[in-house]
Homo-oligomer: A and B are copies of this chain.
Amino acid sequence: MKTPQDAFSDYLTDQNLKMTPQRRLILETMLKQGDHVSSEELYARVKKKDPSIGQATVYRTLKLLSDSGLVEPLDFADGVTRYEPSYGKEHHDHLICERCGKNIEIMDETIERRQEAIAREHGFTLCSHKMYLYGVCPDCRKKGEA
Protein backbone atom coordinates (compact mmCIF):
# COMPACT_ATOMS: atom_id res chain seq x y z
CA MET A 1 0.00 0.00 0.00
CA LYS A 2 1.15 3.49 -0.83
CA THR A 3 2.20 5.80 1.95
CA PRO A 4 -0.21 8.63 2.63
CA GLN A 5 2.43 11.02 1.34
CA ASP A 6 2.62 9.20 -1.97
CA ALA A 7 -1.12 8.91 -2.19
CA PHE A 8 -1.39 12.65 -1.74
CA SER A 9 1.27 13.32 -4.35
CA ASP A 10 -0.52 11.07 -6.78
CA TYR A 11 -3.81 12.77 -6.13
CA LEU A 12 -2.29 16.18 -6.73
CA THR A 13 -0.61 15.12 -9.95
CA ASP A 14 -3.83 13.56 -11.07
CA GLN A 15 -5.71 16.80 -10.55
CA ASN A 16 -2.98 18.94 -12.12
CA LEU A 17 -2.20 20.40 -8.76
CA LYS A 18 1.21 20.88 -7.21
CA MET A 19 3.03 19.62 -4.19
CA THR A 20 4.35 22.36 -1.93
CA PRO A 21 6.26 22.47 1.34
CA GLN A 22 3.15 23.80 3.05
CA ARG A 23 1.01 20.91 1.89
CA ARG A 24 3.67 18.43 2.91
CA LEU A 25 3.95 19.96 6.35
CA ILE A 26 0.22 20.05 6.92
CA LEU A 27 -0.16 16.42 5.96
CA GLU A 28 2.79 15.41 8.18
CA THR A 29 1.35 17.25 11.13
CA MET A 30 -2.08 15.80 10.55
CA LEU A 31 -0.71 12.27 10.43
CA LYS A 32 1.47 12.70 13.47
CA GLN A 33 -1.08 13.71 16.05
CA GLY A 34 -4.13 14.45 14.12
CA ASP A 35 -6.98 12.82 15.90
CA HIS A 36 -10.10 14.95 15.85
CA VAL A 37 -8.27 18.20 15.30
CA SER A 38 -9.97 21.30 14.06
CA SER A 39 -8.48 23.51 11.41
CA GLU A 40 -7.64 26.04 14.08
CA GLU A 41 -5.80 23.49 16.21
CA LEU A 42 -3.94 22.12 13.26
CA TYR A 43 -2.97 25.64 12.26
CA ALA A 44 -1.46 26.23 15.68
CA ARG A 45 0.63 23.07 15.44
CA VAL A 46 1.76 23.70 11.91
CA LYS A 47 2.71 27.24 12.79
CA LYS A 48 5.26 26.02 15.32
CA LYS A 49 7.20 24.43 12.49
CA ASP A 50 6.63 27.18 9.97
CA PRO A 51 5.43 30.44 11.48
CA SER A 52 4.96 31.99 8.09
CA ILE A 53 2.12 29.68 7.12
CA GLY A 54 -1.36 31.12 6.75
CA GLN A 55 -4.62 29.97 8.23
CA ALA A 56 -6.23 29.93 4.80
CA THR A 57 -3.67 27.46 3.54
CA VAL A 58 -4.62 25.07 6.30
CA TYR A 59 -8.28 25.33 5.40
CA ARG A 60 -7.51 24.86 1.73
CA THR A 61 -5.24 21.91 2.32
CA LEU A 62 -7.71 20.21 4.60
CA LYS A 63 -10.24 20.41 1.84
CA LEU A 64 -7.78 18.78 -0.55
CA LEU A 65 -6.96 16.05 1.93
CA SER A 66 -10.63 15.50 2.43
CA ASP A 67 -11.36 15.30 -1.29
CA SER A 68 -8.51 12.90 -1.80
CA GLY A 69 -9.81 10.59 0.90
CA LEU A 70 -6.76 10.96 3.11
CA VAL A 71 -8.64 12.53 5.96
CA GLU A 72 -12.21 12.36 7.09
CA PRO A 73 -14.21 15.36 8.27
CA LEU A 74 -16.01 14.77 11.55
CA ASP A 75 -18.91 16.63 12.93
CA PHE A 76 -19.29 16.58 16.69
CA ALA A 77 -21.70 19.50 16.54
CA ASP A 78 -19.44 21.75 18.55
CA GLY A 79 -19.35 24.44 15.93
CA VAL A 80 -16.15 23.43 14.21
CA THR A 81 -15.32 20.77 11.68
CA ARG A 82 -12.79 18.26 12.93
CA TYR A 83 -10.68 15.90 10.92
CA GLU A 84 -8.98 12.57 11.35
CA PRO A 85 -6.56 10.65 9.14
CA SER A 86 -8.50 7.97 7.33
CA TYR A 87 -6.15 6.66 4.68
CA GLY A 88 -5.72 2.93 5.06
CA LYS A 89 -7.86 2.89 8.16
CA GLU A 90 -11.05 1.01 8.55
CA HIS A 91 -14.22 2.99 8.85
CA HIS A 92 -15.37 3.58 12.39
CA ASP A 93 -17.87 5.58 14.37
CA HIS A 94 -17.57 7.47 17.61
CA LEU A 95 -18.71 7.03 21.17
CA ILE A 96 -18.37 10.37 22.91
CA CYS A 97 -18.55 11.28 26.59
CA GLU A 98 -20.78 14.29 27.05
CA ARG A 99 -18.96 15.36 30.19
CA CYS A 100 -15.25 15.05 29.43
CA GLY A 101 -15.25 14.72 25.67
CA LYS A 102 -13.55 11.33 25.73
CA ASN A 103 -13.88 9.80 22.33
CA ILE A 104 -13.83 6.09 21.63
CA GLU A 105 -13.70 4.63 18.16
CA ILE A 106 -16.19 1.89 17.53
CA MET A 107 -17.05 -0.39 14.69
CA ASP A 108 -19.89 -2.80 14.48
CA GLU A 109 -20.66 -5.16 11.68
CA THR A 110 -24.27 -5.65 12.69
CA ILE A 111 -25.01 -1.96 12.45
CA GLU A 112 -23.18 -1.54 9.17
CA ARG A 113 -25.17 -4.37 7.66
CA ARG A 114 -28.46 -2.96 8.88
CA GLN A 115 -27.59 0.44 7.46
CA GLU A 116 -27.03 -1.09 4.05
CA ALA A 117 -30.28 -2.99 4.34
CA ILE A 118 -32.27 0.07 5.35
CA ALA A 119 -30.92 2.10 2.46
CA ARG A 120 -31.73 -0.70 0.06
CA GLU A 121 -35.28 -1.00 1.40
CA HIS A 122 -35.82 2.62 0.40
CA GLY A 123 -34.18 2.16 -2.96
CA PHE A 124 -31.17 4.24 -1.95
CA THR A 125 -27.59 3.53 -2.88
CA LEU A 126 -25.68 4.14 0.32
CA CYS A 127 -22.59 6.33 0.00
CA SER A 128 -21.59 6.98 3.56
CA HIS A 129 -22.93 7.44 7.01
CA LYS A 130 -22.20 9.16 10.24
CA MET A 131 -23.06 7.77 13.64
CA TYR A 132 -22.29 9.37 16.95
CA LEU A 133 -23.22 7.87 20.28
CA TYR A 134 -23.35 10.29 23.18
CA GLY A 135 -23.18 9.12 26.73
CA VAL A 136 -21.38 9.32 30.03
CA CYS A 137 -18.14 7.42 30.46
CA PRO A 138 -17.39 5.29 33.55
CA ASP A 139 -14.96 7.84 35.01
CA CYS A 140 -17.38 10.72 34.75
CA ARG A 141 -20.21 8.67 36.15
CA LYS A 142 -18.11 7.84 39.21
CA LYS A 143 -17.27 11.51 39.69
CA GLY A 144 -20.95 12.36 39.39
CA GLU A 145 -21.80 9.92 42.14
CA ALA A 146 -19.03 10.97 44.49
Chain B residues whose C-beta falls within 8 Å of the C-beta of A75 in the assembled complex:
75, 77
In the complex, the answer to whether A115 meets B123 with C-beta atoms within 8 Å is no
Chain B residues whose C-beta falls within 8 Å of the C-beta of A7 in the assembled complex:
none
* Size of the chain A interface, CB-CB below 8 angstroms: 33
Q: So how many copies of this chain end up in the complex?
A: 2
In the complex, the answer to whether B130 meets A118 with C-beta atoms within 8 Å is no
In the complex, the answer to whether A118 meets B95 with C-beta atoms within 8 Å is yes
In the complex, the answer to whether A123 meets B137 with C-beta atoms within 8 Å is yes
In the complex, the answer to whether A129 meets B131 with C-beta atoms within 8 Å is yes
Given known contacts A77-B75, A110-B110, A126 and B135 CB-to-CB distance under 8 angstroms: yes
CB-CB nearest 3 A-B residue pairs:
A123-B138, A124-B135, A126-B135
